[in-house]
Amino acid sequence: MAEGYLDNGVYWRHGNFKPERETLVFVHGLSGSSSAWVPYESKFGKDYNLLFFDLRGHGKSVKKKDFDYYSLEFIADDIFNLARRFGLNNFILVGHSFGALLALDFARKHQKMLSQLILLAPDYRISKTLRAKLARPFLELAKIVSPMPFEERIGIHIDYKKFFGTGDWNPKRICADIRNTSLRVYCHCLRQASKIDGEKMVANLRLPTLIIHGKKDTVFPCSDSEKLAKKIPNADLRILPDANHILVINNFKEVAGEIEKFIERRNC
């Protein structure tokens, strides 16, 4: 796959683009990287154009000190700039967890650029949950990292195969992610996520949308995806009974299968 950077330090990679094929753009979750999608490259690479990128400060993207650099609005603009760079239109946007919220934000602003939206383990109510309210004092304390010395750098792509089957709160995976992303970037993005107004994002959404959620998800409640599906006209909701929040890694076959069926069904 070809790879490179936007002018602002955001890393991207893609396969050979063929104009006759549909394009899938993948958005990973908080503290992860685009390497979480590696199995999906093999699954979809023969039939679709694929574009992956690392969120600002994540994976191989540059980690910067400034809090405002991680604004959700700017990250949605990264998706737009990538689409413009590679001449993409009428593409399918796939987002997991925090990445699903970014996908929703992009869809709110640029709905006409998308043909379909796929949300994996989303929570459009993230800023209103009890967990978010309890976390706010900690996130305010996280401001203390801002004046600390910080050197801009890039990280690596973690091999997530070694974390296959791990639970939502697996210490080794979480520590590996935060160490790679940096505590500063992790805290900055958490604070940005706590400001999300998901109701505004879905108010006028009319795209064909697939929502996949794990029944055993202990990060974002499955019930919120059920509520979200009712707010989006003709949304398809798939609940995976044995999946947790890390369904992109742990439930590749089921998730990829549901994505494939959804696209084929919508294209009939």
Q: Look up residue 223 and give its two tokens.
A: 């019930």
For residue 160, the enclosing domain spans 2-267
Q: What is the pLDDT of residues 106-161, one digit of tens each?
A: 999 999 999 999 999 998 877 665 555 555 665 665 566 555 667 788 999 999 99
Residue that wins the pLDDT comparison between 267 and 85: 85
> pTM for this one?
0.94
Residue that wins the pLDDT comparison between 249 and 143: 249
What pLDDT is attached to residue 118?
Answer: 98
Q: What is the pLDDT of residues 220-241, one digit of tens each?
A: 999 999 999 999 998 999 999 9
Confidence of residue 20 (pLDDT cuts 50, 70, 90): very high
Q: What is the pLDDT of residues 187-196, one digit of tens each?
A: 888 877 777 7
Q: How many domains does the chain have?
A: 1
Instruction: Say yes or no to pLDDT of 54 above 70.
Output: yes
Please report, for the domain that includes residue 221, its CATH number. 3.40.50.1820
What pLDDT is attached to residue 149?
Answer: 60
